[in-house]
Structure 1
Amino acid sequence: MTAVATRHLPDAPDAPAPRRRPARVRVRVLCLLAAILVLAALMLASLAFGTRDIPLSDVWSALGGADASLGQAAASKRIPRTVLAVLIGAALGLAGAVMQGVTRNPLADPGILGVNMGASLAVVTAVAYFGLSSPIGYIWTAMAGAALAAVFVYTVGTLGRGGATPLKLALAGAATSAAFASLVTAVVLPRNDIAGGFRLWQIGGVGGASFERTGQVAPFLAAGFVICLLSARSLNSLALGDELAAGIGERVAVARAVAALGAVVLCGAATAVAGPIGFVGLVVPHTCRLLVGVDHRWLLPLAALLGASLLTAADVVGRVVARPAEVDVGIVTALVGAPFFIWIVRRQKVRAL
């Protein structure tokens, strides 16, 4: 009798779990709904505010297809820009969350790990030396460059004792990103015919967006979104550690490769159309963990929503603070993300997730 009672003692602390679980789910659902409402409000703000303010009546008319007045015409031009900002922000936020889950590295980010600069270098090289001019070609080239950069950084980060530690991956990514940035400059400087356009693109922004450009990149982004969201359960298993994940039947190498593929597709497609925008994939996943915890089934959708909100907000701020000129979103996100990066390094001690 004593043995039987002792064997059942560990179950006692878990008894209240059925009552706690619905409350936790409600909090997560409320966070998702709040994120949707915030994103909707920011999208309206993106249409209404910029180098000139537009009344909400003209915004609603423009959403209905009207462009008779000057305000309605201006709002109509801002619609594709807003849509592109939402898609690129969602892609970068989701890619950052997946990268952090794949590498178990709290510093993982498409910019910090050199993935964005790898995509940039591939596009610049293809344009300068191979005459690349097709928008679809830009996307495929950017994804190939992003994939090669990710593999290179991870390989370098695994060298030496201890394997791919978070600090080694961050240092390898930072060094690779700096090297790629120098190579981009070396490729562009002698080419005056492409230098001006690439300097603007290299900063990162969503200005000049059109539904044609968005339509070209949308299938790639959709594929990346699907792959990443379907990897949520696998990322939960990887968070337990490779040995334990394999013990519960997870094919670790396949799960890591598939999730990384989704992140690379998102990064490459986003960089091809908007340039290398940094720090969105770093800031957003950490914020999401504070709100919904570490379960990737909730973390990944929220990361996409908050990433879209952050980039949309950054675009609005960039248009408002420097009227009548604009500050590109890549600069605004860097101003927000750089202090956040320093805070993580100092407070989190660069521990693995």
Structure 2
Amino acid sequence: MSAHPTLPSVDSTFRSNYQRMFDAIQEVITGKPEAITNTIVVLLAQGHLLLEDVPGVGKTMLAKSLARSVNGSVHRIQFTPDLLPSDVTGVSVFSPQDHKFTFHPGPIFANIVIADEINRANAKTQSALLECMEEQQVTVDSITHPLQKPFMVVATQNPIDSEGTFALPEAQRDRFMGRISLGYPDREAEISMLSTHHISEPLDALTPVLELDQLHQMIEQVKQVTVTQRLSSYIVDLGRATREHPYISLGASPRALVQWVRAAKSHAAINGRDHVLPEDVRAVAPMILSHRLILTRRALSEGVEPLALIQDLVSTTPVG
């Protein structure tokens, strides 16, 4: 990414830390700068990310690279049809010696949780993440346990028509701030990958470039990025446009609009600005909306592409 002038609330340290994360992840994920940028945008906006694509394009590798670039706790959960909710959240076990129940935390208790192939688990197990992702806590046997901060779920999933997959519930999808697809690498990136990956695994060489306190500082700086009333109105108008469009049966929720603002602030910060511009709102629109919009049967029969529809909505909705 090109250098941008920094403004008072987004100092050179923020920009330097972002670039270090970007460069570290790019050493592992070649030829996908936009995907890397969007991943960091979601992390700094305190959101959760859904990586959806066909098997073998690097979804889990991207999730692991992000996790390893930050010196925090990381847990990976392999979702399978027989996975139970308690396998995710934890369980209370009775101790005969103490005559009381002791809570044993599950793998959800980490700064970054990699939920690998999340749509291979059934809806009951997927729903175990609802409270975790929305409220950053887990309730077991009527006792609430707070999760670590920062807390981010990076989930991978294969396309819904893949064998052995279950559709994510709408409430689950809406808790993901963004969804991105990696796609296949370009020819040069694929040649580079074949030249190096058969010798060594780039992920093994990736070491943390950011401490947790540095990440906390970056998150706080993102919170200080300003959003004018005009741009807030613009996001609301865009959200309402998705609900009123004849090709869309389910549009963006109020939660989606809140997350849209947070993502736009994060995008502005990594580009060196202390205020959001319309271009920030537009830049994050595809990843904010792509997994939330449900098209009508008419739209599906006419072959309407969701991303094209999103771009049309963004370009035709006036800014204030």
TM-score (norm. length: structure 2): 0.29
Higher helix share: 1
Larger RCO of the pair (alpha carbons < 8 Å, separation 6+): 1
**Larger C-alpha radius of gyration, 1 or 2?**
1
